[in-house]
Structure 1
């Protein structure tokens, strides 16, 4: 596949007063850009990295090996689904998806295997088989998931309401949803079952939102589990096809996406946006949409950050988890090595909370938790572009405090102690992979590890977090994680105003665009329903 090149930002670029300047080219920013451009708005997208796409970008190493950095699978991509139709609209029908089939996820918990398959009734049948004495609890769990859908939709819808509706209906919609958002996942599940192994199995996919059952809001759990209830999908041609196809569409609409355009400050005058700063130079603009994350926006980008910190009260809204990731390249194809398409959630035992919050995991000799993904096996185009090669990723939870001393050291030269941490994680990860798949012995051609400071460097998240703001109950108590901010001309988009993942980020883009162009969005939804 021919790689697409992207334009670098230059100092002679200017913005008009009616230009919407979007900071960050992740899915949230790109989605907002498409909807605004289709509504006739002037838009430009600025990306600080050397490649666009946020967590949809990929990276290469020797011999053409490629890995994704954030998109491991996406749900709700069945043909004619609402999410699929919107992505068709965003990409002008150029983005295609491969189904992962069944099972799409497999959990190993204390040596026992659980398969996750697409379809609610298929899920019910599987788990009834695994837990024949807990069928009532399983049915109740599925009922809770179903009942959560409308409650969560009302919660997100009220974020786009203009002033009057926000005052009148906002409190009601938030109160309806609070019955599921204010309680942790464990608290809810403990009400329906005392079987800790069942709770562990039902929460095996909790890494998708980065919190253990006793930490996470049940609302977050419901959204993510419902998202994957019909199975998992992977972008055909790799995760990078998500942003490449959307950017192609944006360019046809007259929107330019610039790389190496790191916005250092959002400049304000009084309570209004007056411009941005890049490389020390000020650029006048009056409309800014930040896809850089709420914490980055209010604590780092705004020039009056002291007041904004008080405004957001981040003592109650923490950043999400960070991670270590092992990237493995192999000298044979997925077919030859008999590698699966499904993801693996591996837990040493059923005490999920203890495992995911064990801060001594770095010094132990074996891994107690791992998420394993096989990106090359999921992509139907991989074998033709990369014959006799395959790739694996293995992710473990990390804490930024263990790596903060290395944050200011140069990339690829952070010292021996840092390299030792990476080497130990690599060896533990490879040992687990070979335990699960002995046929990998002698076939590994490349193995490297990224850390939270790697994430910090490339994503610009200060704590190396991968899911923005935490998905605990406190996330839902705040009133500031919404598209419209207290600063005139400044809007937010991205996973912080909705939820984690590609689907969540896309939803944020729709929400932000709806906040700006209001009822004109109905024209675009009619077009999506009719043509896509």
Structure 2
């Protein structure tokens, strides 16, 4: 971001100080994203001592929001969440995490719209509604569409078994782990394009079925079909948005944690996990050593193994990330307008815009920044999705436009000072801004005279605020190689060190929440059944 106002937040959180003391039975969680917060709630409910550390001025990871002078607000990572219909399992768990304080607004139908080569396609909630809609779009490909939906349905249990085996203890993991992974392997080892091209040769249909692939950050020929299935199934019943904004996710969960006696500290920069032999000994925080025996890292697998741990405690399988690439990075254009979304007739649905049906070429065009026009964009209308927006921000609305980026184009600026990275850097941002505004004018020409703010964030912005090495937004890649490694699981080879977060499961709020459950299950084991019974009965 290129403004001094990134960290304007509505609630103040306690800063970490040098007099904080951890007991030997305290679980210290590094990172306050959804994965870390979910783990914290389940552990606290099980009677464990928990502390959460956040390096930045505001907690929440990619659920936080930022403001500008005119009171405009944007989310930075949560654009919509699936499986949030009333009484769904995910909805019940978030009710549990937030003590029923987190509410959701449905986006309605369509919840996504794809423009592929000038043709418009609507994504609607419900499998049968989806089937009917796509039969209308592709009347000669009904059998392929039916087969696709069948594959999605069959993938659910296979993916569930894959994630369950990550939390199995000792002997159970040794016996059942290989079996569960083998069951999932056929869908994990193939790319999305390989599977879809086996059921249809209609390239336009494949492009449209993969139009939402930006949700996991890889094109059809790169992504694992397992990743594709999880994300598409997640949104099959439509999209939802946190009522009051994305920051309500972490705010309500942290409020619940504080009622459970859990402290959440900001400005706690964990520089190192200190080990003795193969056991956790302590943490180096803000330049000072603190003794602790139990650490849960929500900082990402790469950061944990490559940055926070000494290389001497890693063996080859834990330090070799050459086969597990980082996910995609992005440019984002944040737009503010001087009229309400109702007056401007802004939609609740998201737009996936592709210049043509060759989505792989579009999403893998490493020279895209030099082109005169955008060939891909994702457009979100956060103010239109939030039913409380107009009460706090009358006569205002917001839009976000995202494009794919390549870190090679920004590496030269990563060590330059924030807000002062030079003219060439600013030129790249200005060019993307103009191309983004040009596309927006093409889609919504009436918005031109109402734009009062427009700025761009880049991968180095993401790196600064998230600590991801190449400004990636989805952790490690969602390609087939993700499913081959045994590193991405809650329990590590270091005694007292656990992992949580999207690298353990999958991208997104739902994925991060699932990782928190897996990590908590790994630690408290069968006692988790008590909490699941409570969720079923009360939430």
Give the TM-score taking structure 1 as reference length. 0.99
Residue 397 of structure 1 aligns with which residue?
404
1:448-459 equivalences in 2 (<5 Å):
448-459=455-466
Q: Is the 8 A contact 1:266 1:276 kept in 2?
A: yes
Aligned to 1:14, the other structure's residue is in SS state coil
Alignment check: 8 A CA contact 1:485 1:492 kept: yes
1:504 match: 511
Aligned: 1:89 with 2:96: yes
Contact kept, 8 Å, 2:306 with 2:319, in 1: the verdict is no
| Superposed CA offset, 1:339-398 (max 9, x none) | 100000000000000000001110111000000000000000000100000000000000
Q: Distance in 2 between matches of 1:138 and 1:180?
A: 17
Match of 1:284 in 2: 291
1:440 lines up with 2:447 in the alignment: yes
Structure-to-structure mapping, 1:317-396, within 5 angstroms: 317-396=324-403
Equivalent in the alignment of 1:126: 133
Q: Take 2:315 and 2:147, find their aligned partners in 1: how far apart are those partners?
A: 42
Q: Structure 1 runs of 4+ off > 3 angstroms?
A: 305-310
Measure the CA separation in 2 of the matches of 1:311 and 1:155: 20
Q: 1:275: Cα distance to partner?
A: 0.4
Are the equivalent residues in 2 in contact too, given 1:299–1:309 (CA < 8 A)?
A: no
The residue matched to 1:95 in structure 2 has which SS?
coil
Q: Distance in 2 between matches of 1:415 and 1:225?
A: 41
Take 2:153 and 2:456, find their aligned partners in 1: how far apart are those partners?
39
Whether the aligned pair in 2 keeps the contact of 1:406 and 1:414 (CA below 8 Å) is yes
Checking the alignment, whether the CA contact within 8 Å between 1:331 and 1:390 is kept in structure 2 is yes
Relative to the length of structure 2, the TM-score reads: 0.98
Q: 2:211 aligns with which of 204, 212, 231?
A: 204
- 8 Å CA contact 2:317–2:487 kept in 1: the answer is no
**Structure 1 residue 32: Cα displacement:** 0.1
Take 1:2 and 1:136, find their aligned partners in 2: how far apart are those partners?
51
Partner of 1:16: 23
Give the CA deviation at 1:2.
9.1
Q: Please state how far the C-alpha of 1:309 moved relative to its aligned partner.
A: 6.0
CA contact (8 A) 2:191 2:225 kept: yes
Q: CA deviation at 1:6?
A: 0.5
**Runs of 5+ consecutive residues of structure 2 not aligned to the other structure:** 1-7
Residue deviations 1:269-288 (CA, integer Å, cap 9, x gap): 10000000012210000000
State whether residues 406 and 453 of structure 1, in contact with CA within 8 Å, keep that contact through their aligned partners in structure 2.
Answer: yes
Contact 2:13 2:58 in 1 (8 A): yes
- Provide the rounded CA distance (Å) in 2 between the counterparts of 1:410 and 1:59: 20
Answer whether contact 1:298 1:308 (CA < 8 A) is retained: no
Choose from 182, 185, 189 the match for 2:189: 182
Q: Which residue of 2 aligns with 1:219?
A: 226
How far has the Cα of 1:214 moved from its partner?
0.2
Q: Contact (CA 8 Å) 1:299, 1:306: kept in 2 or not? A: no
SS at match of 1:159: coil
Alignment coverage as a number of residue pairs: 532
Change (3 A) 1:490 1:360: same
Aligned pair 1:192/2:199, yes or no? yes
Q: Deviations over 1:55-114 (max 9, x none)?
A: 000000011100000000000000000000000000000000000000000000000000
The structural deviation recorded for 1:5 is: 1.2
Q: Return the alpha-carbon distance in structure 2 between the equivalents of residues 270 and 25 of structure 1.
A: 28
The residue that corresponds to 2:523 in the other structure is 516
Q: 2:4 corresponds to which residue? A: none
Q: CA deviation at 1:307?
A: 3.2
Tell me the residue number matched to 2:111: 104
1:273 aligns with 2:280: yes
> For 1:283 and 1:2, how far apart are their aligned partners in 2?
29
Residues in 2 aligned to 1:103 and 1:57: alpha-carbon distance in whole angstroms: 26
Cα deviation 1:485-507 (Å, max 9, x = unaligned): 00000000000000000000000
2:491 — aligned with what? 484
Q: Say whether residues 1:166 and 2:169 are aligned partners.
A: no
Q: 5+ unaligned residues in a row in structure 1: which ranges? A: none
CA contact (8 A) 1:106 1:343 kept: yes
Partner of 2:39: 32
